[in-house]
Structure 1
Amino acid sequence: MTASRHRIQDKPTAGFPGGPARSQALTPVAFVQAIVQAYAQRGKDPAQALRSAQIKPEFLCDPAHRISALQMERISGTAMQELDDEALGWFSRRLPWGSYGMLARASISAPNLGVALQRWCRHHGLITDDIRPQLTRAGSQATLTITEQADLKALREFCLVSVLRNVHGLACWLIDSRIALQGAQFPFAAPAHRDVYGVLFSGPTVFEAACAAISFDARYLELPLRRDEVALRHMLKHALPLTVLQYRRDRLLVQRVRQALSTQPADTHSASDLAALLAMSPRTLHRQLKDEGASLQTLKDEVRRQRAQTLLLRTDRPIKQVAEASGFQNEKSFMRAFKGWTGQSPAEFRQGSGSAPGSPGG
């Protein structure tokens, strides 16, 4: 399973995990049962929705049965139209077509992702008060929490999972970037299909928590939006899925690489060392940096040059120590690199700085 979908559109389709081939049966039948329950709440027959997705009624009796992402999209889309409810019965009142599109429109003009998500949370309270989404930031971690303000009953899991997938997918789309989750938590016991949570939500998943929430690096909140009203209209008109895991690029990766190179120079000598530190393969590291128009060598040179120049100007450390502190394994390679950057040797650069090491003007 490498992709999970949640669409926001005029006639949205909510999808769940699928692999590279959307015909791969990996979505738990529990989510189909939740849709059937929504029909029962409205006194309607789900037969047409099941037929549209080629889901046999007897499959609903087998808790181990799985369907494909495409089947999930089809039954969800049909159900939303027949029930006239984008929330598929989660809340005490229907959410007519366009409700989640309206939330996206309210966020599209925000200057950065943090403001966009704050708006999304605030406006979600205008369409239903059964749940209250809230974005908080504590140090380096951002958390989007869902507080239940009404009894969601049998649709509780489907609702909480879907809303968090919805907002995560929108956030990724808004900044055109994969947002790696640091973790997810849910206020119910681990279901029999708990394995699917590892695909729906990257990072560890905790069950029986106080509330539902996802957490991620707070620096994503500072990234500017890369979509506009035209892009939003196109997305809604053509019903394009917001697929979180389709994003190879992570627009925070360059910042994470810079930070690792700056704070852990001894642990980032090679691409393999750095990739291990960032929990990815060297190939993925190089590919994602290329997607962002950067290269590891360029970032290394930038960080090492800045650190070396600072140490040469502000301290009286020997050149050998400056080389080590800047991430070089030996003095000779440092001196060769430094001359390539500045046209001077480290000693010439220090001598020509015009101020003594450690002085206020250095």
Structure 2
Amino acid sequence: MPFYAPPAPFATPSLTPGPAVTPIAFVHAIVQAYTQRNRSPAEALALAQIAPTALADPAARITAAQMERISGAAMLELDDEALGWFSRRLPWGSYGMLARASLSAPTLDVALKRWCRHHGLLTDDITLNLTVAGDTATLTITEQRELGALREFCLVSVLCNIHGLACWLVDSRIPLQSAQFPFAAPAHHDVYGVLFSGPTAFDTAPAGIRFDARYLALPLRRDEPALQQMLKRALPLTVLQYRRDRLLVQRVRQALVAHPALTHSAEALAALLHVSPRTLHRQLKDEGASLQALKDDVRKNRALELLLRTARPIKQVAEAAGFQNEKSFIRAFRGWTGESPAEFRRAGTPLV
């Protein structure tokens, strides 16, 4: 699908075999963009190795590399990075200009608000908006005119683009809590699980995505040279999930606090966070932390609070702190404080 900064002509990707998950409906949308300009898509289709038989099959799928190739070719030929979505063209370099304007922002919050505001200068057919409510950030698209046959392709692409850009700017995977779209579930609705992590709702306006608002406080980690390099191959940012999550420490800590009984092992915790145990340990190491240290810190704080502020039996405190038995809790507690839980409680002032 299109992306905010198309690849340069010399950066054409190799069409090596890969999973074909992109629905042919998105290719038809690009063909429609050519039709609007009275141009033939034949050259772009041939360049992407998309056969006429695939166009005739509503269930056909193409690879990400094929989509990258036809998108880039169409943007060049039509000189429109929006591929016909809007009432006026977005000339070559438009989305690169938006990315550059956001690059100097101190945080992701400022960068995304700039992107939303500056996007309105390019077109008034849609309005982008970033809001925060509690711990949740929401990016929405308000349609200011009928988008017609290209509606789905436009809304999906714009949200994929801005999400991919956000991940790139902070060099972090930003898991989506949910996505929603104001149209009925299409026949290819299964692809939404690939494009958007988290559940997707249909027939729900406005189009938008939700994610943890703490990502907005992250500083940007990119500069002009990095931007120049990214602009050569931007599409993968919209289809490949970042492995690194710079908020993983906070997410692990939150899971340990909220689900002490479900996080006894690295395997259980990793499943809860939708990552592999190996990825969990590697990313925590990248952030200068370890799972055992985080467990100890969360369990210690929980145990201290319960021992000082309640009269619960030691066995119940151990269970609430995430220990599978009282004996292991007492052993760990002695390691933390040099005292047994009972000794610590006697020395403090418990509150019933």
Q: Tell me if both proteins adopt one fold, taking TM over 0.5 as the criterion.
A: yes
CA contact (8 A) 2:195 2:239 kept: no
2:210 corresponds to:
215
Q: 2:148 matched to 1:153?
A: yes
1:16 corresponds to:
none
1:242 to 233, 237, 251: 237
1:9 to 5, 10, 25: 5
Q: 2:132 matched to 1:137?
A: yes
Q: 2:85 matched to 1:90?
A: yes
Moved more, 102-111 or 275-284: 275-284
Please list every run of at least 4 consecutive aligned residues from structure 1 whose deviation after the TM superposition is greater than 6 angstroms. none
2:67 to 57, 69, 72: 72
CA contact (8 A) 1:319 1:346 kept: yes
1:23–1:244: structure 2 CA closer, same or farther, 3 Å change rule? closer
What is the DSSP-based 3-state SS (H/G/I as helix, E as strand, rest coil) of the residue aligned with 1:91?
A: coil
1:22–1:128: structure 2 CA closer, same or farther, 3 Å change rule? farther
Per the normalisation by structure 2, the TM-score is 0.87
Rounded to whole Å, the distance in 1 between the matches of 2:205 and 2:337 is: 56
What is the DSSP-based 3-state SS (H/G/I as helix, E as strand, rest coil) of the residue aligned with 1:169?
A: helix
Q: Letter of the 1:252 partner, please give it.
A: L
Rounded to whole Å, the distance in 2 between the matches of 1:239 and 1:142 is: 24
Encode CA deviations 1:39-93: one digit per residue, 9 max, x unaligned.
1111222121112112233432222222221111111111111111100111111
Shift of 1:167: 0.5
1:190 corresponds to:
185
1:329 to 318, 324, 327: 324
Q: Letter of the 2:62 partner, please give it.
A: I
Encode CA deviations 1:285-338: one digit per residue, 9 max, x unaligned.
444434444322121011112223344455565544443332223333223212
Q: 2:194 matched to 1:199?
A: yes
Shift of 1:245: 3.2
CA contact (8 A) 1:12 1:97 kept: no
1:146–1:315: structure 2 CA closer, same or farther, 3 Å change rule? same
1:288–1:244: structure 2 CA closer, same or farther, 3 Å change rule? farther
Rounded to whole Å, the distance in 2 between the matches of 1:182 and 1:238 is: 27
Rounded to whole Å, the distance in 2 between the matches of 1:10 and 1:192 is: 28
Q: Letter of the 2:222 partner, please give it.
A: R
1:109 corresponds to:
104
1:168 corresponds to:
163
Shift of 1:276: 4.1
Shift of 1:121: 0.9
Counting only pairs closer than 5 Å after superposition, residues 209-288 of structure 1 correspond to structure 2 as 209-236=204-231, 241-243=236-238, 245-288=240-283
Moved more, 116-125 or 217-226: 217-226
CA contact (8 A) 1:168 1:244 kept: no
RMSD: 2.8
Residues paired across the two proteins, number? 347
1:307 to 286, 292, 302: 302
Per the normalisation by structure 1, the TM-score is 0.85
**Structure 1 vs Structure 2: percent identity of aligned residues?**
75
Q: Letter of the 1:182 partner, please give it.
A: Q
CA contact (8 A) 1:175 1:225 kept: yes
Shift of 1:33: 1.2
CA contact (8 A) 1:121 1:135 kept: yes
Rounded to whole Å, the distance in 2 between the matches of 1:189 and 1:307 is: 46
Encode CA deviations 1:16-45: one digit per residue, 9 max, x unaligned.
xxxxx6533332221111111111111222
Encode CA deviations 1:200-243: one digit per residue, 9 max, x unaligned.
11222222222211122222223332223332233225657415
1:231–1:343: structure 2 CA closer, same or farther, 3 Å change rule? farther
Shift of 1:185: 1.6
CA contact (8 A) 2:300 2:336 kept: yes
Moved more, 291-300 or 253-262: 291-300
2:35 to 30, 37, 40: 40
1:190–1:321: structure 2 CA closer, same or farther, 3 Å change rule? closer
Rounded to whole Å, the distance in 1 between the matches of 2:235 and 2:188 is: 27
1:128–1:309: structure 2 CA closer, same or farther, 3 Å change rule? same
What is the DSSP-based 3-state SS (H/G/I as helix, E as strand, rest coil) of the residue aligned with 1:242?
A: helix
Moved more, 41-50 or 260-269: 260-269
- Gap regions ≥5 residues in structure 2: 10-15
1:114–1:168: structure 2 CA closer, same or farther, 3 Å change rule? same
